[in-house]
Amino acid sequence: MKRKQAAFLCSVIIAIGAVLMARTATNGDAAKARRGTTIVIYLAGDSTVAAAPRSRAPRAGWGEMLDGWFDDHVVVKNMAASGRSAKSFIEEGRLERILRELKKGDYLFIQFGHNDEKANDPARYTEPFTSYQAYLQQYIDSARAKGAIPVLITPVERRRFSADGRALDSHGRYPAAMKALGKHERVPVIDLTTKSKQRFEQLGPERTKRWFLWLEPGEHPNYPKGIKDNTHFHQRGAKEIARLVVEGIVELNLPLRRHLIRSPKREPIRDRLSDETP
């Protein structure tokens, strides 16, 4: 009898062990499957997109704020770099670095224009409807060759206003050239130029200073003499520009929208500094 009981107990233990091993394997496979569904958004762009070093806080690029909009299935890799144009980014090998990691189903977000406009700098300058489009084409073709999805983003506006308080264009023909290329190549385009200009006009000349890197002397230790920067964003402004990018994702009905954890629907413009997270 004792031998039978011992044999029975052994068989039960073996069965339980088999079940636990099966569950472990299943959970492991599920974890691998989850990792396998991760989508990476690679950002190629200039300083308005790039992460700013701590020494320049509270300056920030909108790319720093994008990751927080998505669930765990999406990762944002901000490869943007200050001072780069569509041309110099490629010629410095920065696109190639992205391509070494880029895989099927990933996204390549592309925003250039600010530095392409610098006609006195041959290392960066591109002409809107010729060389600018030609360099952008390289991003598109390279992403597609990897099975990834390119998304063009027209350059975010600078802070420029007319005497009567109207927001002004600051990028000439570059946004139109990008949109024309996107239409020809059937590439999604987020018109961040128009979106940002509209928001700046809503805010007006004074309130937009809070979105940009405008600081009084002594207001921040990184800028003891103060600063008046109409190109780069304060952290709170970068957050709102990221919101406009997400708004564009929703409007284009990109599959990425399924991974958003909140709606980018516009909220009332906050007028009190205390309402805005620095």
The full 3-state SS of the chain, as one line of letters, equals CHHHHHHHHHHHHHHHHHHHHHHHHHHHHHHHHHHHCCEEEEEEECCCCCCCCHHHCCEECHHHHCHHHECCCEEEEECCCCCCCHHHHHHCCHHHHHHHHCCCCCEEEEECCCCCCCCCCCCCCCCHHHHHHHHHHHHHHHHHHCCCEEEEECCCCCCCECCCCCECCCCCCHHHHHHHHHHHHCCCEECHHHHHHHHHHHHHHHHHHHCEEEECCCCCCCCCCCEEEEEEEEHHHHHHHHHHHHHHHHHCCCHHHHHECCCCCCCCCCCCHHHCCC
Query: What pLDDT was estimated at residue 136?
Result: 98
Positions marked catalytic: 47, 216, 232
Look at residue 163 and tell me whether its pLDDT is greater than 70.
yes
Quote the pTM value.
0.84
* Euclidean distance between CA atoms 165 and 124, whole angstroms: 32
In this structure, of 33-37, 83-87, 244-248, the range with the lowest mean pLDDT score is 33-37
The mean per-residue pLDDT over the stretch 140-154 comes to: 98
Look at residue 236 and tell me whether its pLDDT is greater than 70.
yes
Higher pLDDT, 200 or 278: 200
pLDDT in tens, 253-270: 999 999 999 999 865 444
